[in-house]
């Protein structure tokens, strides 16, 4: 078997094992928490008889292992089941919510990835000079702020004071594209600033590490300008670590949007997961968690493959 195909097969097998482990961990944690979906729906004032009847109707009176294995069996056959809280099809709800999350994450990625690489190149070109210090200092500030704090600052300044963008990202499928982009401008800005800092700093570090190589000195002795050395020699050889950090941040854009979607009331997977946790809707929590884990695993696998393809020493191991 070709080494790349062998790597993909190994990563897929490991990914499947991790998905099962993640689902078991999520289910176990939800079972440990006090209360359940019936208690969340009826409230603290519910009588024991009403709770028992609703638990029987929801199937919560069955053993935990039975409920978990039934959910696993349904997922393996493509049946995600229905939510406990509203009886709606989980697959239909996730189809709508996942599309909204990918729409939000895609626009954040389209802005942040090229901008991070460009800023990283500029920081290397003007290393230890004022452009480098300004870029590094500002990105360090953004990466130090929690997402919710940065979101509330932008809401207060841009949404409330300046009124340039809506404070809540209310979108619907029938909205024109420009209206959708205007509605998600603030959450996209928050996600961009958060991942931009990490990607830029890692790009800068990766290129500076390559710049210490002997062949870089040879290129400089040939009379190439600093920018030509970076563009033709340093950047191509720093692709592997840059791709890794980009993929990790792309995974964050899909998986880590829970806080941002909750702050801006955006109808995506993050908000859907938060609502399900509040309602103790275990099937929704399990399905959402596994989807997030699958996205993270797939993007990491792509990063591994790209790293091997871009590095001859990994493509042809001794």
pLDDT tens digits, 125-143: 888 888 888 988 888 888 7
> What mean pLDDT comes out for the span 223-237?
75
Burial class (CB in 10 A: 0-12, 13-18, 19+), 203: buried
CATH of the domain at 239: 1.10.3720.10
**Per the structure block, which two tokens stand in for 126?**
């003007």
- The helix (run of H) or strand (run of E) holding residue 152 is helix 147-154
pTM of the model: 0.81
Residues 250-269: tens digit of each pLDDT: 888 877 788 888 889 888 88
Strand ranges for the chain from DSSP E: none
User: Is residue 229 domain-resident?
Assistant: yes
Average pLDDT rounded to a whole number, residues 155-171 = 87
Q: Is 10 among the domain residues?
A: no
Give me 128's structure tokens: 């230890």
Among the listed ranges 68-72, 76-80, 201-205, 309-313, which one has the minimum average pLDDT value? 309-313
Is residue 89 helix, strand or coil?
strand
Residue 35 lies in a domain: no
Q: Which residues of 120-142 are buried (b: 16+ CB within 10 A; e: fewer)?
A: bbbbbbebeeeebeebbeebeeb
297, pLDDT greater than 80: yes
Work out the percent of the chain whose per-residue pLDDT is above 70. Answer: 96
Q: What local confidence, expressed as pLDDT, does residue 187 receive? A: 92
Domain presence at residue 19: no
Number of domains in the chain: 1
Cα separation, 130 vs 30, in Å, equals 51
User: Domain for residue 76, yes or no?
Assistant: no
236: in domain = yes
Mean per-residue pLDDT, 176-180? 88
Report yes or no on 62 lying in a domain: no
pLDDT of 147 reads 84
CB burial readout 74-85, b (16+ within 10 A) else e: ebeeeebbbbbb
Domain span including residue 136: 90-315
46 within some domain: no
User: What pLDDT is attached to residue 311?
Assistant: 61
**Gap between the Cα atoms of 81 and 74, Å rounded:** 7
pLDDT of residue 186: 92
| Residue 67 near residue 269, CB atoms below 8 Å | no
Beta bridge partners of 71: none
How is residue 192 annotated by DSSP? H
Share of the chain above pLDDT 90, in %: 5
d(Cα 42, Cα 61) in Å, to the nearest integer? 16
Half-sphere exposure of 180 (CA within 13 A, CB side): 13
- Using DSSP, state whether 82 is helix, strand or coil: strand
DSSP-derived letter for residue 158 is I
Query: Which comes out higher in pLDDT, residue 3 or 85?
Result: 85
Q: Is the pLDDT of residue 318 over 60?
A: no
pLDDT digits (tens, 9 = 90+) for 25-62: 988 888 887 777 888 887 777 778 888 888 888 888 88
The percent helix, strand, coil of the chain (3-state, each to 5) is 75, 0, 20
């Amino acid at each position: 078997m070709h080494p790349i195909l062998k790597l993909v097969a190994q990563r897929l097998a490991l990914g499947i094992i991790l998905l099962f482990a993640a689902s078991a961990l999520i289910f176990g944690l939800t079972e440990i928490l006090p209360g359940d979906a019936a208690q969340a729906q009826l409230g603290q004032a519910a009588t024991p008889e009403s709770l028992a009847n609703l638990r029987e109707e929801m199937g919560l009176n069955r053993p935990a292992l039975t409920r978990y294995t039934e959910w696993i069996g349904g997922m393996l056959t493509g049946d995600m089941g229905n939510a406990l809280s509203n009886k709606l099809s989980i697959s239909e709800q996730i189809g709508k919510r996942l599309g909204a999350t990918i729409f939000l994450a895609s626009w954040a990625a389209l802005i942040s990835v090229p901008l991070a690489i460009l800023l990283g190149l500029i920081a290397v070109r003007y290393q230890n000079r004022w452009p480098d210090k300004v870029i590094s200092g500002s990105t360090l500030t953004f990466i130090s702020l929690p997402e919710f704090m940065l979101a509330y600052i932008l809401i207060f300044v841009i949404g409330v004071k300046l009124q340039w963008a809506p404070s809540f990202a209310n979108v619907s499928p029938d909205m024109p594209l420009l209206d959708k982009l205007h509605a998600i401008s603030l959450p996209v800005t928050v996600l961009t600033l958060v991942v931009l800092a990490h990607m830029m700093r890692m790009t800068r570090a990766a290129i500076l590490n390559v710049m210490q190589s002997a062949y870089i000195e040879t290129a400089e002795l040939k009379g190439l300008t600093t920018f030509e050395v970076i563009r033709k020699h340093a950047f191509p050889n720093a692709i592997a670590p840059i791709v890794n950090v980009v993929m990790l941040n792309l995974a964050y854009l899909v998986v880590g949007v829970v806080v941002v979607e909750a702050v801006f009331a955006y109808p995506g997977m993050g908000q859907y997961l938060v609502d399900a946790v509040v309602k103790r809707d275990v099937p929704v929590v399990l399905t959402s968690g596994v989807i997030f884990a699958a996205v993270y695993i797939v993007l990491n696998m792509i990063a591994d493959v790209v790293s091997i393809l871009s590095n001859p020493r990994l493509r042809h191991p001794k």
